[in-house]
């Protein structure tokens, strides 16, 4: 006979001694009201046992189905996403436990350090013409070529063919940065540039804030259009050519996700996949004023160590899961709050996304340390547990 448990008063309880012992060995459930002879199962655990392990659930002496067991839970936020993400982790032979068991900090969240340097903006004593509808300015002086060659501002000539053409083209972010920090002269005032750029795209200020923050740390940022992101990133001292006309290729791309913004999970995951498909590190930037937001983490995740499965009795959790669905919208403030809670636990966050076919994709989020930076930056990588 398989595992048996009861559904009563909204709880899933295991009283059969053989079932209690079997589930305890598999790290399902927890002692009910301090009684080691009775286990209480979380809804995800109970449904997993019904769905995958051929368990039997009884209510008032009669067996009930999976759907009948979900009575009272079906209106809970992202209930099925939580369940299928839990099931996927368990199906891999790994242990997932309720977030309520978290104690921490566990010290299992290493920080990634990027090289930074204070950037001294070069003097840009030139007169540029700004074209508001194109969000671009033009410099037609030969001396402006040094901005491109020495500090990689704009594009001189043609992309990857600098001898073809004699103009320096600056995008709106580069234009505003040189206006504020390099003394660039424009045919329009800064207030008008900001007004027109924000009219074209509402998130312009957030994107510029990240651009400025990283430029002042010595990084070079260029358009990430070809890779489905806002910027591609180069480390300090990068220049457009390495020598002998060899083009320098980026290894990182950045997506800016302001705290006040919201985005469909499917769109966000697609950008990460595109970046990984071209072998680039995907960086998430979260600008904006820090504020409280609702963000409940879902499960503590145990992983592998030296080929063995980690367990709650012998090990600490390695990750913490935030379960999401493909059709769900997530806010920047909500994600920032989830990342803060993960950091307080000393664990990396795993974003588990359940698609419409109930397949689950996992992304690991690792914090980047940038001294003097005003904002938060994270590397996000696709992982297969």
Instruction: Report pLDDT for 165.
Output: 63
**Distance from C-alpha of 124 to C-alpha of 130, rounded to nearest angstrom:** 15
Name the CATH code of domain 121-201 (choices 1.10.510.10, 3.40.50.10710, 3.10.350.10, 3.40.1170.20). 3.40.1170.20
Residue 243 has pLDDT above 90, yes or no: no
The pLDDT of residue 358? 95
Please give the pLDDT value at position 193.
Answer: 96
* CATH code for the domain defined by 4-75: 3.40.1170.20
- Which residue's entry shows tokens 């930037």? 285
Other CB atoms within 10 Å distance of the CB of residue 219: 24
Strand partners, 41: 12
pLDDT of 362 higher than 60: yes
Give the helix/strand (H/E) hosting 363: strand 360-369
| Conformational region of residue 93, where left means phi above 0, alpha means psi within -120 to 50, and beta covers everything else | left
Choose the weakest-confidence range: 22-26, 276-280, 311-315.
276-280
CA 300/CA 289 separation, integer angstroms: 29
Q: Which alpha helices (DSSP H) does 216-331 contain, by range?
A: 265-277
- At residue 111 the predicted structure's pLDDT band, cuts being 50, 70 and 90, is very high
Please name which of 202, 378, 166, 180 lies closest in space to residue 285, comparing C-alpha atoms. 378
- What pLDDT does residue 163 have? 67
Is the CB of residue 163 less than 8 Å from the CB of residue 157? yes
- Percentage of the chain modeled with pLDDT above 70: 95
pLDDT in tens, 17-32: 999 999 999 999 999 9
Indicate if the pLDDT at residue 159 is higher than 70. no
Indicate the domain borders of the chain: 4-75, 77-118+217-385, 121-201
3-state secondary structure of 197: helix
| Intrachain domains 4-75 and 121-201 with the same fold | yes
Q: Both tokens of residue 152?
A: 């990689």
pLDDT, tens digit, 9 for 90 and up, residues 189-205:
999 999 999 999 999 99
CATH architecture of residue range(s) 77-118+217-385: 3-Layer(aba) Sandwich (3.40)
pLDDT in the model for residue 295: 76
Those residues with Cβ within 8 angstroms of residue 264's Cβ, 6 or more apart along the chain or in another chain: 327, 328, 329
- DSSP at 154: S
SS3 367: strand
Could you tell me if 366 and 381 are in contact, meaning their C-beta atoms sit under 8 angstroms apart? yes
pLDDT over 90 at 171, yes or no = yes
């Amino acid at each position: 006979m398989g595992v048996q448990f009861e559904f009563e008063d909204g709880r899933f309880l295991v009283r059969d001694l053989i079932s209690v012992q079997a589930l305890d060995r598999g790290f399902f459930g927890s002692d009910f009201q301090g009684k080691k002879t009775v286990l209480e199962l979380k809804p995800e655990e109970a449904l997993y046992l019904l769905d995958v392990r051929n368990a039997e659930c009884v209510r008032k002496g009669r067996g009930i189905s999976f759907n009948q067991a979900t009575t009272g839970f079906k209106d809970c936020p992202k209930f099925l996403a939580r369940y299928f993400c839990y099931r996927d982790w368990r199906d891999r032979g790994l242990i997932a436990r309720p977030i309520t068991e978290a104690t921490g900090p566990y010290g299992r969240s290493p920080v990634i350090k990027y090289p930074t340097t204070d950037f001294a903006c070069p003097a840009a004593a030139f007169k540029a013409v700004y074209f508001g509808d194109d969000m671009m300015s033009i410099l037609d002086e030969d001396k402006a070529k040094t901005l491109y060659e020495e500090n990689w501002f704009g594009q001189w000539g043609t992309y990857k063919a600098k001898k073809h053409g004699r103009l320096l083209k600056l995008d709106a972010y580069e234009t505003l940065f040189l206006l504020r920090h390099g003394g660039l002269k424009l045919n329009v005032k800064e207030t008008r540039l900001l007004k027109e750029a924000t009219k074209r795209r509402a998130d312009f200020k957030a994107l510029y804030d990240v651009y400025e923050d990283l430029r002042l740390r010595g990084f070079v940022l260029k358009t990430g259009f070809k890779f489905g992101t806002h910027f591609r990133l180069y480390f300090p001292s990068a220049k457009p050519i390495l020598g002998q006309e060899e083009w320098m290729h980026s290894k990182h791309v950045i997506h800016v996700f302001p705290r006040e913004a919201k985005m469909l999970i499917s769109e966000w995951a697609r950008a990460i996949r595109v970046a990984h498909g071209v072998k680039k590190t995907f960086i998430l930037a979260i600008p904006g004023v820090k504020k409280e937001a609702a963000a409940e983490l879902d499960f503590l995740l145990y992983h592998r160590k030296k080929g063995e499965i980690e367990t709650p009795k012998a090990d600490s959790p390695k990750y913490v899961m935030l379960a999401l669905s493909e059709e769900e919208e997530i806010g920047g403030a909500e994600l920032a709050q989830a990342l803060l809670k993960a950091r307080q636990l000393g664990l990396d966050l795993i974003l588990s996304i359940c698609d419409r076919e109930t397949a689950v994709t996992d992304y690991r989020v690792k914090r980047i340390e940038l001294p003097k930076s005003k904002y938060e930056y994270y590397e996000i990588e696709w992982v297969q547990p």
